Amino acid sequence: MSAPPDARPSPEEAAAPGAGPASERRPGDRATWPPLPKRPSRATASPLPRLVRWRRGAALSGRARWGLRAVAVLVPLALWWAVSSMGVVDPTFLPSPAAVAQAFAEMAAGGQLLSDAAASLGRVGAGFGLAVAISVPLGMAMGTSQVALALLEPVVGLLRYLPASAFIPLLIIWLGLGEPSKIAILVIGVVFFNTLMTADAVRAVPAELRRAAATLGATGGEVLRKVVWPYALPGMLDAMRVNAAAAWNFVVVAELIAAESGLGYRIIRAQRFLQTDRIFAVLVVIGVIGLAIDVGLRLARARVGRWAA
């Protein structure tokens, strides 16, 4: 049975491509759209290597990751070698990689690098360790107690903006020129930032976990030990990774205070005689030690917080 003459197409039929006579089609109708151009598949479209054609969200293989790390090291080294070999910069101000390696060998053979590295490591370990011992309990208190947060946040927030180097004259007056004043600079430079970052990690613990533990009969101390601490520990270790780098920045400032050993002291001594090759050698040593500390903290984080993203 045919449709009555006054029957009209449904909205779906009217919107279908090709619906209606050609004379009634407007330029904006889908029926007038040109066909899409044919494009090659993604697998053959790009001539770039597979390493470069990494897609967002895809995991890098171990070989690709190590390849990128090698490029990140070798490209700056090659540029450094090219600039120094072309004589663009006076070797007094920019020594070649070979000159830096020779200076490193001389300082290592004389025992200077080992003794200076041990002295700086001792100061960083003492100052950073003391800062962590102070900041973690304070950060835990600020992250779990509104009373502690209201009491401590204004003071910590104010003191973190004061540069540690500004305390040098006071530390000399209070603690003298020995090791305590040097360690105190590291503590002042690290403790306030690590406190706030620890408090942020503790506040990131979902309230649902605390309520669930309390519902199951856990006491306040048990919630703190078995829920808050394990959840916040990876974030605390991330904060330590960041602030460990800051501790190495402050050790150079700390060793300006009547020091007779240390990597910062060795840099200042080389600067007096324009021994830039030795300065670069010491900087390389600081970078390698800092990288080793960062890798150690990263491995510790991966071990204690495997469930964390």
**DSSP per position, 83-104:** HHHHTSS-TTTS--HHHHHHHH
**CB contact at 8 A, 262 and 212:** no
Residue 245 included in any domain: yes
CA distance 52 to 145: 49
Q: What is the mean pLDDT of residues 72-82?
A: 92
Residue 134 has pLDDT above 80, yes or no: yes
% residues pLDDT > 90 (the chain): 59
**CB contact at 8 A, 216 and 157:** no
Least confident of 21-25, 34-38, 181-185, 187-191: 21-25
Residue 149 has pLDDT above 90, yes or no: yes
- How far lies 190's CA from each of 122, 182, 193, 233, 241, in Å? 16, 13, 6, 18, 11
CA distance 172 to 165: 12
Confidence grade of residue 304 (pLDDT, cut at 50, 70, 90): confident
CATH number of residue 258's parent domain: 1.10.3720.10
- Name the average pLDDT for the chain: 85
Residue 11 has pLDDT above 70, yes or no: no
DSSP secondary structure letters along 105-130: HHHHHTTHHHHHHHHHHHHHHHHHHH
Residue 88 included in any domain: no
Residue 144 included in any domain: yes
- How far lies 240's CA from each of 104, 170, 220, 259, in Å? 30, 27, 26, 26
Distance from first CA to last CA of the chain, Å, rounded?
65
Residue 3 vs residue 217, higher pLDDT: 217
Q: What is the mean pLDDT of residues 236-255?
A: 91
Residue 233 neighbours by CB distance under 10 Å: 18
Residue 24 has pLDDT above 80, yes or no: no
Which residue segment(s) compose the domain that 256 sits in? Answer: 97-304
| Residue-level pLDDT at 135 | 97
| Residue-level pLDDT at 92 | 87
Residue 45 included in any domain: no
Scanning the structure block, which residue is given the tokens 């990597």?
Answer: 263
CA distance 291 to 204: 27
| Residue-level pLDDT at 309 | 55
* Model pTM score: 0.77
- How far lies 22's CA from each of 6, 18, 25, 32, 33, in Å? 20, 8, 5, 9, 13
For the chain, what is the domain count? 1
Residue 147 has pLDDT above 60, yes or no: yes
CA distance 242 to 43: 40
CA distance 177 to 84: 40
| Residue-level pLDDT at 58 | 63
pLDDT in tens, 108-123: 999 989 999 999 999 9
Least confident of 62-66, 167-171, 209-213, 270-274: 62-66
Structure tokens at 303: 């071990």
Residue 64 included in any domain: no
- The Cα angle at residue 18 between residues 15 and 19, in degrees rounded to 5: 50
Residue 86 included in any domain: no
Least confident of 20-24, 165-169, 198-202: 20-24
Residue 256 has pLDDT above 90, yes or no: no
Residue 230 has pLDDT above 60, yes or no: yes
% residues pLDDT > 70 (the chain): 82
The 3-class SS string of 126-192 reads HHHHHHHHHHHHHHHHHHHCHHHHHHHHHHHHHHCCCCHHHHHHHHHHHHCCCHHHHHHHHHHHHHH
Amino acid present at 80: W
| Residue-level pLDDT at 105 | 95
Residue 41 included in any domain: no
Residue 47 has pLDDT above 60, yes or no: no
CA distance 227 to 204: 12
- 134: Cα within 13 Å, side-chain hemisphere: 18
Scanning the structure block, which residue is given the tokens 């540029």?
Answer: 79
